[in-house]
């Protein structure tokens, strides 16, 4: 008994999207965090969003800065959910009255027996980082893949140890809320430290110059890997001298997080590579930088 509203914009226009929600009184809206990052930069007071009772997001983690700005300007919460192509929603904010903790992707779906495990498939304590896994010893629950088509090895690896491995590193707090850290292959190991790209991106996102960003690792002769930030600048800031912006953002990062987490390389692009659903393709940035050390990359940019 519900209707699905479809509008082909040919290209993404934040103001037009808000106009459609307002004009046609849409009651629910779901979009990846990338879309919300652009929407919060609009003058939201121009649009009537009162009929929309549910704003939600999925696809990748939502920065707390975007959530807080949206709530401040609209009075509406954004309900985050986490799932995969291989599953239904695994974690989320399910109830209207449940507390939302900005930056967290909510609590586990009761459909799944979720646990955070270390590299040896042992449970980790609250607050410690591990891989989000789903127990399947007693059978695979409805909504979870049975396997990968004609790929026995990949299927066996995904279900190693009697659990389904999501490949995502997270931690769970003492109240059962799950916090995204990053894909296992996205985690940056630099000078003996492990750095979460999402954490660094969330810091940079607080600066008004940063429309969106992707943090990755590049080869470095001294540290093994150096932290790099690829950034799309907000309107106005994109006219400034790149070297000036690099110094400003580097200083901002140093003032707001540990030195080892701070990007040592900055690249400014008009847009980031994304999937068709709006997820940032960090792997594409890593592939482009592969085989280049930090000195060479700095010369190019």
Does residue 262 belong to any structural domain of this protein?
yes
Q: What is the largest CA-CA distance in the chain?
A: 61
Which of 94-98, 243-247, 275-279 tops mean pLDDT?
243-247
How is residue 125 annotated by DSSP? -
Residue range(s) defining the domain that contains residue 234: 185-300
Q: What is the CATH number of the domain that holds 191?
A: 3.30.300.30
Does residue 142 belong to any structural domain of this protein?
no
* pLDDT score recorded for residue 162: 94
Structurally, the chain folds into a number of domains equal to: 1
Does residue 220 belong to any structural domain of this protein?
yes
Does residue 15 belong to any structural domain of this protein?
no
Does residue 226 belong to any structural domain of this protein?
yes
Does residue 38 belong to any structural domain of this protein?
no
Does residue 250 belong to any structural domain of this protein?
yes
Does residue 169 belong to any structural domain of this protein?
no
Helices (H), ranges, 62-131: 64-74
Strand order in the sheet with 210-220: 210-220, 224-233, 265-268
What is the per-residue burial (b if ≥16 Cβ within 10 Å, else e) of 46-68?
A: ebebeebeebbbbbbbbbebbbe
Q: For 22-76, how does the pLDDT look when each residue is reduced to its tens digit (9 = 90+)?
A: 999 999 999 999 899 999 999 999 999 999 999 999 988 998 999 999 999 999 9
Going by pLDDT thresholds of 50, 70 and 90, the confidence category of residue 296 is low
Going by pLDDT thresholds of 50, 70 and 90, the confidence category of residue 262 is very high
What percent of the chain stands above pLDDT 70? 96
């Amino acid at each position: 008994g519900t209707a699905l509203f479809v509008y082909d914009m040919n290209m993404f226009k934040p103001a037009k999207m808000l106009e459609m929600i307002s004009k046609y009184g849409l009651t629910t809206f779901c979009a990846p965090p990338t879309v919300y990052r652009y929407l919060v930069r609009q003058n939201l007071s121009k649009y009537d969003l009162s009929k929309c009772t549910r704003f939600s997001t999925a696809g990748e983690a939502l920065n707390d800065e975007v959530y807080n700005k949206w709530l401040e300007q609209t009075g509406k919460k954004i309900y985050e959910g986490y799932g995969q192509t291989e599953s239904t929603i695994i974690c989320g904010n399910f109830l209207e009255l449940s507390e939302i903790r900005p930056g967290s992707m909510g609590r586990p779906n009761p459909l799944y027996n979720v646990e955070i495990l270390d590299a040896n498939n042992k449970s980790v304590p609250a607050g410690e980082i591990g891989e989000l896994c789903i127990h399947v010893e007693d059978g695979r629950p409805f909504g979870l893949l049975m396997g990968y088509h004609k790929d026995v090895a990949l299927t066996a690896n995904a279900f190693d140890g009697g659990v389904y491995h999501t490949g995502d590193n997270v931690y769970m707090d003492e109240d059962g809320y799950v916090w995204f850290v990053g894909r296992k292959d996205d985690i940056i190991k630099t000078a003996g430290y492990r750095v979460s790209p999402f954490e660094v991106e969330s810091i940079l996102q607080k600066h008004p110059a940063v429309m969106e960003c992707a943090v990755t690792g590049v080869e470095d002769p001294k540290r093994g890997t150096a932290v790099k930030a690829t950034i799309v600048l907000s309107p106005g800031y994109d006219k400034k001298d790149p070297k000036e912006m690099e110094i400003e953002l580097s200083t901002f990062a140093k003032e707001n997080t540990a030195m080892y987490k701070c990007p040592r390389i900055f690249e400014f692009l008009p847009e980031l590579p994304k999937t068709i659903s709006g997820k940032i393709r960090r792997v594409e940035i890593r592939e482009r930088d592969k085989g280049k050390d930090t000195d060479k990359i700095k010369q190019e940019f």
